[in-house]
Amino acid sequence: MIPNGCLSFRPGETLKLADIRPLPYADYARALLDLVAAGGRLSACFADAVDDSAKLALYALIARDRQGDLVLLKTAIGESFPSLTPECPQLHLFEREIAEQYGVIADGHPWFKPVRFHQAWISGRDAWNRPSDRRPLVGEMDFYRIDGDEVHEVAVGPVHAGVIEPGHFRFQCHGEEVMHLEISLGYQHRGIERLLIGGPRKATPFQLETAAGDTSTGHMTAYCQVIEALAGAEVPPRGEALRSVGQELERLANHVGDLGAIAGDVGFLPTSAYCGRLRGDYLNFTSELCGNRFGRGLVRPGGTLIDCGRELADLILKRLESVEYNTRGAIELMFDTPSVLGRMEGVGLVSQEAAEQLGLVGVAARACGLRRDIRLTHPTGAWRGNFDTIPQETDGDVNARAQIRRRELYAALGWVKKQLKKLPEGPHLIPPGKPGANLFTAALVEGWRGELVHVALTDDTGRFRRYKIVDPSFHNWNGLAMALRNEQISDFPLCNKSFNLSYCGFDL
Amino acid sequence: MIGKALSHLLLLFLLSPLLLGVIGKTKALFAGRWGAPLLQPYFDLWKLARKEMVLSETTTWVFLAGPLIGFIVPPLAALFIPFGALPAPVSFNGDLILFVYLFGLARFFTAGAALDTGSSFEGMGAAREVTFSCLAEPTLLFVLIVLARLAGDLSLGAMLGPTLQPAWHQAGAALGLALVSLFVVLLVENSRIPFDDPNTHLELTMVHEVMVLDHSGPAFGLILYGAAMKLFVLGAVLVRMALPMTYPSFWLNLAVFIGGMLALAVLIGVVESIMARLRLIRVPQVLVGTTLLSAFAMVLLLRQ
C-alpha cells in the first residue's frame, strides 16, 4: 500500500515528469512519515528549481526494502518549509543540504547549519544571511559546545597526521571520555551536481568516476543505469557480469585495505602489513581488467568499455588462488588473536534503533542487525536472482563492522570466481541511444560502503535538468558521531576506520 | 674510575640506537618485509642533527629543557648500574632511589615541555604518560626492593653484582616474578606495544609520541637518542637479572651482556609483532596487576 498521490517504481524504470503530481505540503509530510514508519528508508531528498516561479519542487525518494521498490513524493515549497527532521531524523542532512543549495529555511530544524559551505545556487539568497560578496569559509559556523570547568575541547583536522582526506572533528570531552563529536566537512566540495546540469557531456563519465575515488566503479555503474533507463536501453549479459566483477573487485580491495587499517590502528602488525600488500594485488586485478587500478574506464553506458577475454579471465583466476590464500591467512590471523578481538569488541557501539533512525546504510547498517543491501532488495544487472544472502551482525561495534567486511570479502571472492569462470557470451557493450525528454529515473547500486543513489530529471531536450547523487557516506557520518558518544577519545581512530567513510563522496 | 665510566658511557652511546634497529628489523620480518637497515636509527639521528629546528613562538625555555634533560638523564642513570658483569662506575648506598627518580625528573620535564606548547593533544599525552608512570613506579620499586633484600645492600652496583647468581638458587620464584614485572615496566616506560605504539601517527591514541609532536630537528634527535638510551639502561637491569653469570674474562662478560641486550630487543620485537595494543582504559588495570605481581615477589621473599 502506498499513500495517495505517491508513485511507486522499480530502479531502472522511468517516470514521466508530467505524471508526478505535487502534493500539498501537509499531505507530503504525512505520506513521508507514514512510509518511514512502515519501514521505508529515505534514499534521497532534493529540491529542483521550477521554471519561471519562485517556488521549488521538493522530491523525496523512499526505498522500501521489503517490497523492493521506490516511492516518489513531490511537493512545492516557497522560501521556507516546516522541517520534518524532529519526526524523521533521517531527513536531517537532506534538509540542511536543500537549505544551503537554494537558500530556503527549514523551519524548526533542530541543527540548522550549513553542510558544505558554498554559496546558494540562487544568487542573492542565503539561509544563514551570510555575506553574498564572498565565498563562505569551510567550517564557518557555531560548533556545539559543552561548558564546564572539567570539560575540554579537542579539535582535529582538517589537516591530519596521516595521508587522508580533509575533515574537521570537534570533540567535547570530559577527561578521556567523549561527550559529543561534531563533524564538519565540505573541504572537498567540487560542485559536481551543478556541473552535471545540462549534461551528459563528454566529461561527465570522468567526473562521476571521481565523485568518490574509491568507489569509481560503483558511482559509474549507477550513472550508467540512469542513462540506460533514460534511453530505454538494455545491457548485454556479458557487460552486466563484467560490471559486477569490477564492483566486487572494488569491494575486495577496499575491505582488505580497511581490515588492514583496523589492524594497524590497534597495533597488530602482521595483518596490517599483509593487507596493505594484498590490497595492491586486488587493485592490480582491476588494472589488468581495464588498465586503471581504481576501475576508471571500465564501466560505460551500455555495458563495459573493455572486454575480458578467456585468457585474461584464466590469468586472473589463477593469480586469485594464491591471493585468496594469503588474504584468508592474514584475516583469520587477526580474528584469531585475542588481543585484537579485545580491542574491537564493545567499542564504538551504534544501537539498532539509532542506526534505523539515522538511516545508516551498507556495512555500518548490516553491523547493527539491519537487513540493508541493494544487491538483495533492489537487485539490478548480474545480481538479479543471483544473490540471496547478506552477512548480518547484531552487535553494532567495531568488531561487528570488521566481521561484516570479513564475511563480505569471502562472498566477493566467490562471486568474482563464479563470474569469471563462465562469462556470458555475446557483446560486452551496446551503446544506448539518446536519453528521453522530461523523464525521471533513479538508480540504486550497492557500492562497497553501501547504497549509492543517483537520480536524474531530464528537460525537453533530454539533458539533465537536475542530477542528484547520494553517497553512503552522506548517511553514515552521523553514525560515526553517535558511535563516539561516551567512548574513549583514544578509540576515535579505530571507530573512524571501522566506518571508513568518504569525505569527497559527502562533499561532492 | 674515570676510564671505567667513559667505557660505560661509550658502550651506551654506541649501542643504544642499535636496539631500536633490531626491534625494527624483527617487526619487519614478522610483517613479511625486509625492513629498514639495522643501522637506520643512527642515520635518523644524523639526519635530525643536521636539520633546522622550528620553535613555536608560544613556547618558553621549558620546551627545550624537555629534550635536553631527557637526553642527559639516561647516561647519568647508566653510571649506577653494571652492564652485565662489568661493574657500575659509581655506586653508593641508596643510589637506587636516585636511579628511579632521575627518570622521574626526565618525565617531569618531558611532560612540562608538552604542556608548554598549549596543544590539546600534547596535554592529553602528558596526562596519560604521568598516569601510567605513577602506576608503573611502585612495580619498579618493589623489584628493586626484592633485589636489595637479596643482596643485603642498597646500592644498584651490589644488587646487580656477583651475589645475584646464588640468589637465583635461593629465591628463584621471587626473582622470576620480579623479572616479569620489570619487563612490563620496561615496555611501559619505553612506550612499546601493548601499552603504547611508537609507530602510530594517530594523535588521539598516542601517549609518548604525542608529547613530542612539536619538537623538530636536533631537539627531536635528542629525544629519540634519549629514548633509545633509556631503553638500553632499563634493558641492562633486566638483562643482568636474567643472565647473572660472571666470568673471569672481560670479553666473555661483554659478549654475554651484548648478546643479552640484542636478545631482549628481539623479544620486544616479537611481543610487538604478535599482539595488538591494549585499550587505553585497560592499561592502568594491567599496571596495577603488575604491581600486585611484584608485591607478591616480595612476599615470597619475606616468607623465606
Q: List pLDDT tens digits, range A342-357.
A: 899 989 999 999 999 9
Please say whether the beta carbons of A449 and A363 come within 8 A.
yes
Residue A416's closest CA among A322, A229, A282, A294? A282
Taking each helix axis from N to C end, the angle separating A310-335 and A237-265, rounded to the nearest 10 degrees, works out to 30
pLDDT tier for residue A386 given thresholds of 50, 70 and 90: confident
Return the C-alpha cell found at A200: 551528459
| Total length of chain B | 304
Please say whether the beta carbons of A402 and A262 come within 8 A.
yes
Checking if the pLDDT of A213 tops 90, the result is no
Residue B149's closest CA among B127, B175, B121? B175
The one-letter amino acid code at B186 reads L
* B202, B273, B280: residue with CB nearest A176: B280
Residue A109 and residue A94: Cα distance in Å, rounded?
11
Q: Please state the rounded mean pLDDT for residues B32-52.
A: 93
Checking if the pLDDT of B43 tops 90, the result is yes
Residue B236 and residue B227: Cα distance in Å, rounded?
14
Residue A136's closest CA among A170, A99, A102, A186? A186
Checking if the pLDDT of B191 tops 90, the result is no
Question: H-type helices in chain B, by residue range?
Answer: 2-30, 40-49, 61-78, 95-116, 120-151, 156-159, 164-170, 172-189, 208-211, 217-242, 250-274, 283-303
Residue A360 and residue A351: Cα distance in Å, rounded?
11
Give pLDDT, residue B10: 93
Give pLDDT, residue A72: 92
Nearest-by-CA chain B residue for A155? B120
Please say whether the beta carbons of A272 and A261 come within 8 A.
yes
pLDDT tier for residue A134 given thresholds of 50, 70 and 90: confident
Please say whether the beta carbons of A58 and A29 come within 8 A.
no
CB atoms within 10 A of CB A112: 18
- Tens digit of each residue's pLDDT (9 = 90 or more) over B75-96: 999 999 999 888 899 999 989 9
Is A268's CB within 8 Å of B276's CB? Answer: yes
CB of A337 within 8 Å of a chain B CB? The answer is: yes
CA distances from A385 to A60, A381, A390, A419 (A): 28, 9, 14, 14
Nearest-CA distance B272 → chain A (Å): 8
Nearest-by-CA chain B residue for A337? B275
| Total length of chain A | 508
Give pLDDT, residue A83: 92
CB atoms within 10 A of CB A491: 26
Domain that holds residue B58: 2-303
Nearest-CA distance B192 → chain A (Å): 10
Q: Please state the rounded mean pLDDT for residues A445-473.
A: 92
* A154, A265, A269: residue with CB nearest B30: A269
Please say whether the beta carbons of B193 and B271 come within 8 A.
yes
Residue B63 and residue B53: Cα distance in Å, rounded?
12
A177 — phi, psi (to 5°)?
Answer: -90, 135
Can you give the three-state secondary structure of A438-474, one letter per residue?
Answer: CEEEEEEEECCCCEEEEEEEECCCCCEEEEEEECHHH
Give A 244-263 residues with CB within 8 A of chain B. Answer: 263
Return the C-alpha cell found at A31: 505520506
Nearest-CA distance B186 → chain A (Å): 18
Nearest-CA distance B31 → chain A (Å): 5
| 3-state SS assignment for residue A307 | coil
| Residue B282 CB partners (closer than 8 Å, separation 6+) | A342
Q: Cell 565565498, residue?
A: A135
Buried b (16+ CB within 10 A) or exposed e, B153-171: bbbbbbbbbebbeebbeeb
CB of A272 within 8 Å of a chain B CB? The answer is: yes
Nearest-CA distance B2 → chain A (Å): 43
Is A339's CB within 8 Å of B120's CB? Answer: no
Task: Please state the domain count of chain B.
Answer: 1
Checking if the pLDDT of A5 tops 90, the result is no
- Tens digit of each residue's pLDDT (9 = 90 or more) over A316-333: 999 999 999 999 999 999
Nearest-CA distance B210 → chain A (Å): 11
Residue B14 and residue A9: Cα distance in Å, rounded?
75
Q: Please state the rounded mean pLDDT for residues B284-301.
A: 92
Pairing of strands A56-64, A439-446: unpaired
Pairing of strands A7-9, A14-16: unpaired
CA distances from B171 to B166, B174, B301 (A): 9, 6, 7
- Tens digit of each residue's pLDDT (9 = 90 or more) over A176-209: 899 999 999 999 999 999 999 987 889 999 999 9
Q: Cell 569488541, residue?
A: A345
Residue B78's closest CA among B143, B160, B165? B160
Is B279's CB within 8 Å of A490's CB? Answer: yes
ipTM score: 0.85
How many beta-carbon pairs under 8 angstroms link A with B? 88
Rg of chain A taking only CA atoms, in angstroms: 22
Residue B36: list chain A partners with CB under 8 A.
none
| 3-state SS assignment for residue A293 | coil
A365 — phi, psi (to 5°)?
Answer: -70, -45
Give pLDDT, residue B84: 84
Nearest-by-CA chain A residue for B121? A154
Q: Cell 629534550, residue?
A: B67
DSSP state, residue B282: G
Q: Please state the rounded mean pLDDT for residues B244-270.
A: 92
Residue A464 and residue A200: Cα distance in Å, rounded?
7
A77 — phi, psi (to 5°)?
Answer: -130, 155
Q: What percent of chain A has pLDDT over 70?
A: 100
Residue B61 and residue B112: Cα distance in Å, rounded?
10
Q: Please state the rounded mean pLDDT for residues B63-68.
A: 93
**Average confidence score pLDDT of chain B:** 90
Residue B214 and residue B63: Cα distance in Å, rounded?
9
Checking if the pLDDT of B279 tops 90, the result is no
Give pLDDT, residue A1: 66
Peptide bond into A391 cis (omega under 30): no
Residue A117 and residue A184: Cα distance in Å, rounded?
10
Pairing of strands A69-77, A7-9: antiparallel
Give pLDDT, residue A215: 92
The one-letter amino acid code at A16 reads K
**Average confidence score pLDDT of chain A:** 90
User: Domains plus CATH for chain A?
Assistant: 7-107 (no CATH), 201-507 (1.10.645.10)
Checking if the pLDDT of A50 tops 90, the result is no
- Tens digit of each residue's pLDDT (9 = 90 or more) over A402-456: 999 999 999 999 999 999 998 888 888 888 888 888 999 999 999 999 999 999 9
Residue A36 and residue A88: Cα distance in Å, rounded?
8
| Residue B163 CB partners (closer than 8 Å, separation 6+) | B150, B151, B152
Give pLDDT, residue A368: 92
Residue A342 and residue A17: Cα distance in Å, rounded?
54
| Residue B271 CB partners (closer than 8 Å, separation 6+) | B187, B192, B193, B194
Q: Taking the CA of residue A425 as centre, how many other CA atoms within 13 Å lie in the half-sphere pointing to its CB?
A: 0
Residue B121: list chain A partners with CB under 8 A.
154
Give pLDDT, residue B143: 93
Residue B27: list chain A partners with CB under 8 A.
269
Checking if the pLDDT of A2 tops 80, the result is no
